Amino acid sequence: MKKQFAIIGLGRFGTSICKELYHLGHEVLAIDKNQKKLDEVKGFATHTLNVDGTDESALQKVGIRNFEHVIVAIGEDIQASILCTLHLKDLDVRKVWAKAQNDYHHKVLEKIGADRIFHPEKDMGNRIAEFLTSEKVIDY
């Protein structure tokens, strides 16, 4: 079933989610405040929008609350990530998933109601360690 996703922040993490969801046939709105990043995903997103994720009224104007899932993939600018997540929750977005830079960032995102929080490098590191120690890996 086709779903609607919005991704805010098109770094490596946001871009790979965007491309994969689009490839799987979902509707994907890609948002970034940097036009260059948006140009790079044209052809891999249903729509692209140059919007600052910290601007609540701009998020409201684009109808962000109509998207079932919104992924906040802003990384380095922790303040922007927190503010954006807060606006999305205030605008009643049903599922807000956010990327955390560190444990403090995680705690704040949790407090303000992020529905799921990722630590891409840490999560992938754990998965690789699990995979390497699983019995399915043949030692050769």
Helix pair angle (103-111, 78-90), 10° resolution: 20
Closest to ligand ATP by CB, 18 vs 75, is 75
Burial of 116 (0-12, 13-18, 19+ CB in 10 A): exposed
Which residues of the chain form contacts with ligand ATP (CB under 6 A)?
8-14, 32-34, 37, 52-54, 74-77, 80
Closest to ligand ATP by CB, 53 vs 98, is 53
Query: What is the smallest separation between the CB atom of 62 and ligand ATP, expressed in angstroms?
Result: 12
How far is the C-alpha of 54 from the C-alpha of 112, rounded, in Å? 15
C-alpha distances out from residue 85 to 8, 10, 113, 138, Å: 10, 16, 8, 43
Query: What is the smallest separation between the CB atom of 83 and ligand ATP, expressed in angstroms?
Result: 8
Query: What is the smallest separation between the CB atom of 24 and ligand ATP, expressed in angstroms?
Result: 20
Closest to ligand ATP by CB, 14 vs 69, is 14
